[in-house]
Structure 1
């Protein structure tokens, strides 16, 4: 008898458990924020149900502009869709994909601004007793695709490949490419945020390996429930090709006179003539500033523009009563100094100083005159002596 009562108790307990099950319908946590034209996927699950293992689902929505429910798509009724959505359903732009017996996913291939609103997932009841929830909702916000990436400087010449340098993440963290980690730590590579979404990449001490096509990739993120960052749109723009000119390594300058000696002897009122010869691997791509110095003091300079500025004159100038100096370009990389009517004041050590400038952005870009001094070299000295005439 005790055995029978125990069995009866177990059976009754099982029956009570079956009758107390409560259906639970859930959808993807929201609100969901997507960009116009992007794909949207909203998952719907049902659990704790009775009846057939494979469950059916219906999707509906309320558009903000309308305020009434619109039927979207169903897993069992081909004619379920509202007439305003039937063409999109037929084309596959809107579809429902079964992931499991109790799980489906609503997909919109290219979301429109008019798709914004509240979405309902509903499951027709197959339970013997109605209990729990049979639908769940989530809000979808659709924003216009306004993300644009554009270079602040026009692309210069030459083509090459590109690779990751820096990534500025949605949480404010900076991730460097493996090749650039040390240079970033040393301050040789910096990311400088500016106003209105402008980010400037600054690379100091450029190397020949920095040549290549530079691209900027902008990504827009949204922070959804659960603490996850979701990428909603990205855009990539080629910023142009950077060519590194190894000017400092190849630039050379030599000062010489008509004689092969490093010294020159003149008599008063003669004309001093010295030649400055400049050589570089890429001489046509740089702009030169040429100066002659006497005993380390600037005598005359030809600026990048070709304008000549002299610190001497026939009546005496900043360097005293020296002869009148002139400077002219006589050929590719050749600059001739002339000093007429020399006197004892014109004796000294003459050197030629070259400063090589590169236009930022490249000459072909019409870059607006932003110049960077890439290298400076000074020649060895030519000693000039002016003989004193005894009376």
Structure 2
């Protein structure tokens, strides 16, 4: 009679969008691939049931598809576990967590090879009519942990504006279809930031603060052979100081399109300090005379040399200016364009000589003032502004620069003799 009544209700229910429910038990999609020694969690829920809101669950496994049933754990029967598993349940290595009235999670803290098999989630019926499925099955494969992560130690000190290469090697034995990813991160104090992740499907994900530098080419990924990967940070800044780490992760791609992290290993690469440009940048102004003063007669040419030195000189774009008594006389911009304040186009007052500025070598800049007069006397200093491009070399940085340091030389005193009439 109950079956007939239910059948009639279903028929009417189809027309009235109501009627009997059919119990549905659902497990995490599988098959599952997990790593020995790592944790496991499998969720199970039941829907479309009648009776009490809080449902009970029983977990059972078989080592083979049709092998003997081994009771694992139950929500209501403390004597449920098989003798071979009772100690693991008692210790908490195997546990059952209720997430909702109709959902639980089976957890194994440390997987063993013998845990591989078929897992069944079963729900005792509370329905007035038997309809639907009361259990679900998922297969678990347990593979050995073969993940290997190693890293080369980076240089402990690098100069601002130079390149930093971070080398990491991530491998595993491919016995099942798993995938790898490698992540570089940097720690400063208690804060850790991801720089870049490659994988698990050949994709690249950058940390929020590094997205633009990667887009500009200032951070480059260089994949190698046999699990070798290099991350090159171009033109490092003082903010790049920190403790660098390399993380290797093994993933599985399960039914339902989810990427599941199954094991990971992190290696500390080393601490990197960045020497600020201003710490090694120096500038010196000299004349042909060995003394700090120079005496000229009217009409002669004043020649002064500005010498710039720095540990990271090749990485710097220099703006070089000569000043006379603190006033800008002539400037060579970092692009190489020279702007003079003594030429007629510059509207220079008085009868000053015409100045020119040229680069004569690496870090060497020569000032020439032709046809000096009394107004050209004074204290001459060379001012250097050192810029570093924020972007990478490949993209030209998109015009993004920052001034790393500014230095001014000691003065050279220039005197122009008065001619007696």
Q: Structure 1's 64 and 184: CA in aligned 2 closer, same or farther, altered over 3 A?
A: same
Which of these residues, 175, 181, 192, is aligned with residue 211 of structure 2? Answer: 181
For 1:180-259, what aligned pairs fall within 5 Å after superposition?
180-245=210-275, 250=281
Q: Is the 8 A contact 2:157 2:275 kept in 1?
A: no
Deviation at 1:81, TM superposition (A): 0.8
Q: Provide, for residues 6-57 of structure 1, a one-character-per-residue CA deviation record: whole Å limited to 9, x for no partner.
A: xxxx999549769954332221111122222332221222233344443322
Q: Provide, for residues 349-384 of structure 1, a one-character-per-residue CA deviation record: whole Å limited to 9, x for no partner.
A: xx9999xxxxxxxxxxxxxxxxxxxxxxxxxxxxxx
1:170 aligns with 2:200: yes
Deviation at 1:137, TM superposition (A): 0.2
Unaligned runs of 5+ in 2: 159-186, 293-306, 313-359, 364-421
Q: Is the 8 A contact 1:19 1:129 kept in 2?
A: no
Residues in 2 aligned to 1:165 and 1:107: alpha-carbon distance in whole angstroms: 32
Residues in 2 aligned to 1:243 and 1:170: alpha-carbon distance in whole angstroms: 31
TM-score w.r.t. the length of structure 1 is 0.56
Deviation at 1:214, TM superposition (A): 1.4
Residues in 2 aligned to 1:147 and 1:11: alpha-carbon distance in whole angstroms: 55
1:71 aligns with 2:51: no
Residues in 2 aligned to 1:65 and 1:44: alpha-carbon distance in whole angstroms: 19
TM-score w.r.t. the length of structure 2 is 0.52
Q: Structure 1's 28 and 243: CA in aligned 2 closer, same or farther, altered over 3 A?
A: same
Deviation at 1:87, TM superposition (A): 0.2
Residues in 1 aligned to 2:10 and 2:276: alpha-carbon distance in whole angstroms: 86
Q: Structure 1's 254 and 172: CA in aligned 2 closer, same or farther, altered over 3 A?
A: same
Q: Provide, for residues 204-260 of structure 1, a one-character-per-residue CA deviation record: whole Å limited to 9, x for no partner.
A: 223333332211122222211111112222222211122334579526699999976
Q: Structure 1's 23 and 93: CA in aligned 2 closer, same or farther, altered over 3 A?
A: same
How many positions carry a matched residue from both structures? 263
Q: Is the 8 A contact 1:156 1:240 kept in 2?
A: yes
Q: Provide, for residues 286-327 of structure 1, a one-character-per-residue CA deviation record: whole Å limited to 9, x for no partner.
A: xxxxxxxxxxxxxxxxxxxxxxxxxxxxxxxxxxxxxxxxxx
SS of the equivalent of 1:89 reads helix
- Tell me what 2:99 maps to: 99
Q: Structure 1's 211 and 67: CA in aligned 2 closer, same or farther, altered over 3 A?
A: same
SS of the equivalent of 2:256 reads coil
Name which of structure 1's ranges 208-217 and 77-86 shifts more when overlaid on structure 2.
Answer: 208-217
Q: Structure 1's 61 and 12: CA in aligned 2 closer, same or farther, altered over 3 A?
A: closer
Structure with the larger strand share: 2
Q: Is the 8 A contact 2:65 2:118 kept in 1?
A: no
Q: Structure 1's 147 and 252: CA in aligned 2 closer, same or farther, altered over 3 A?
A: farther
Q: Is the 8 A contact 1:247 1:280 kept in 2?
A: no
Cα RMSD of the aligned pairs, angstroms, is 4.0
Deviation at 1:200, TM superposition (A): 0.4
Residues in 2 aligned to 1:12 and 1:43: alpha-carbon distance in whole angstroms: 32
Unaligned runs of 5+ in 1: 1-9, 262-277, 284-350, 355-391
